[in-house]
Structure 1
Amino acid sequence: MHRIEIDAEMDLLSENKRLAEKNREYLKSKGITAINIMGAIGSGKTLLIEKTLQSVDYRVGVILGDVICKADYERVKKYDVSVEPINTGKECHLDAHLISHVIQSFSDVDLILIENVGNLVCPVDFDLGEDYRVVMVSVTEGDDVVEKHPEIFRLADVIIINKIDLAEAVEADVDKMVRDAKRINGSARIIKMDLKSGKGFDEWLEFLRDAVKVR
């Protein structure tokens, strides 16, 4: 029984990888940079996207993945950008197949921001065809959140530690979170941020400018 389950999982991941490469080829052909933003519910992913849309002067498209996307879709759509919601139902992550159905709607953008379903476990194994993986956590999740979820941080290009202004109130050690992130992934860019006050947001915009320029 276990052998069958393992084989089925390997087949699923192999097929996802194949579709992810097709997505990547399409995005490359159009000169589009894609960023997969992962994090738990309440970490600040949607607010990060909103503030980004307010701050950049290049063309941005947004893909929103959630069990039910209605609330986030209404938040983002008001910025008059191309938005595609993906309601995953019982699935706890986006996959390359779901992304393949919507990316051709974004042929005239420079950047696609993909908000993945809100958790730190399920999205880990599923390449979407993105150029960069961003993992966002907040101090309100506890300062042990990074060490408890090493795999998603190990694969990240950027790690954002958000809501740092609340660290003292929730007795979270931001320095510990940074140390844990560096120990797990020494090559990731780590940004200490507080979206409400604006701390660290300029560093995020700097990363985006470099990411889009690479294309």
Structure 2
Amino acid sequence: MCKDCGCSLGGHNHTHTHADGTTHSHTHDHGGDHGHNAYHEHTHEAHAHPVLGETKTIEVITKILSENDKEAQHNRDHLDEHGILCINLMSSPGAGKTTLLEATIKSDKFKIGVVEGDLETNQDADRILKAGAKAHQITTGQTCHLDAFMVHEGLHHLPLNDLDLVFIENVGNLVCPASYDVGSNLNVVLISVPEGSDKVSKYPVMFRSADLVIITKISLLPHFDFDVKKVISDARKLNPKVDIIELDSKTGQGVDKWINYLQFKKEFR
């Protein structure tokens, strides 16, 4: 995981596509002169090749996670001030996060903003903008997750006064994003039928953190050896209170349950 292997310790490039479609790039090298001081202290101390078990590396990683948690709470408070429900979408690449967002936007039930996270390209942000929502793209380079500081920056590029929901579409990865609180109210994890039904047991940290698990691409069930009951059972062993929805964003099957879930959570947040 990032907090163990040290991939979160290096600087990285960010390319941003704003809500109006304009794009710019810059590098976050986490130097000491940056405004987010505590977070950025780690770079030069353990950037090169952190070795698991070294005292200094552990201290640095602990500091990173601690500062990230503080920033995450700041994000959460900021969103609360605007009455916004924030949802962190996590999954492996290709599980259907962006397609689900497109279906959600097209339901016309909410005013939506999206912070998009990918290693490269603005493709997903472009899809969100085309669907009719506001979007801010963060390309992370070699970093395999979004953290609270990246999300904080993204939030300041969204018109929060005009939004009901903000989605964080995290980098496609079933491991690292689960370790980083980004300031969301809900963690939603997608698992698609083509991935197979063993993913919950193989990646327990991710699914243990989930408030909702969505089984996607269910129209493909006749074509894959996917055990829905096993996925549900495995998820509830990790978290007995987790909600589960089965849907297909392309056909629309089950999307109404997702929309109803969001409306309920928004109303009673």
Instruction: Report the TM range for the smaller structure's normalisation.
Output: over 0.9
User: Could you tell me which of 190, 200, 225 is aligned with 1:146?
Assistant: 200
Aligned to 1:170: 224
Aligned residues: 215
Residue 80 of structure 2 corresponds to residue 64 of structure 1 = no
Q: For residue 77 of structure 1, what is the amino acid of its counterpart?
A: L
Q: CA deviation at 1:47?
A: 0.2
Structure 1 range deviating more: 33-42 or 104-113: 104-113
Indicate whether 1:7 and 2:66 are aligned: no
Q: What is the CA deviation profile of residues 24-83 of structure 1, one whole-angstrom value per residue up to 9, with x for unaligned ones?
A: 111111111100000011100000000000003331111111112411122111123211
Unmatched 5+ stretches in structure 2: 1-52
Q: Does 1:156 align with 2:210?
A: yes
Number of the residue aligned with 1:27 = 79
- SS in structure 2 at match of 1:167: helix
Structure 1, residues 102-153: CA drift from partner, whole Å, max 9, x if none? 2133322111011000010010111011100000011211110111011111
Aligned residue for 2:69, secondary structure, equals helix
CA distance in 2 between partners of 1:79 and 1:193 (Å)? 19
Candidates 132, 141, 160, aligned match of 1:107: 160
If asked which structure has higher relative contact order (CA below 8 Å, sep 6+), I would say 1
Tell me how far apart the structure 2 counterparts of residues 27 and 195 of structure 1 sit (CA, whole Å): 27
Identical columns (%): 40
Aligned to 1:195, the other structure's residue is in SS state coil
Give 1:155 deviation, angstroms.
0.9
For residues 76-91 of structure 1, the aligned pairs below 5 Å read: 76-91=128-143
In 1, Cα distance between equivalents of 2:137 and 2:121: 6
Task: Work out the CA distance in 2 between the residues paired with 1:78 and 1:31.
Answer: 25
- Report the RMSD for the aligned CA atoms in angstroms: 1.3
Matched, 1:207 2:252: no
Equivalent in the alignment of 2:50: none
Q: TM-score, normalised by structure 1?
A: 0.95
* TM-score, normalised relative to structure 2: 0.77
Deviations 1:77-107 (A, max 9, x none): 1123211001111100000000111213332
The Cα of 1:204 is off from its aligned counterpart by 0.5
Q: Does 1:36 align with 2:96?
A: no
1:83 counterpart SS class: strand
The yes-or-no answer on 1:45 pairing with 2:97 is yes
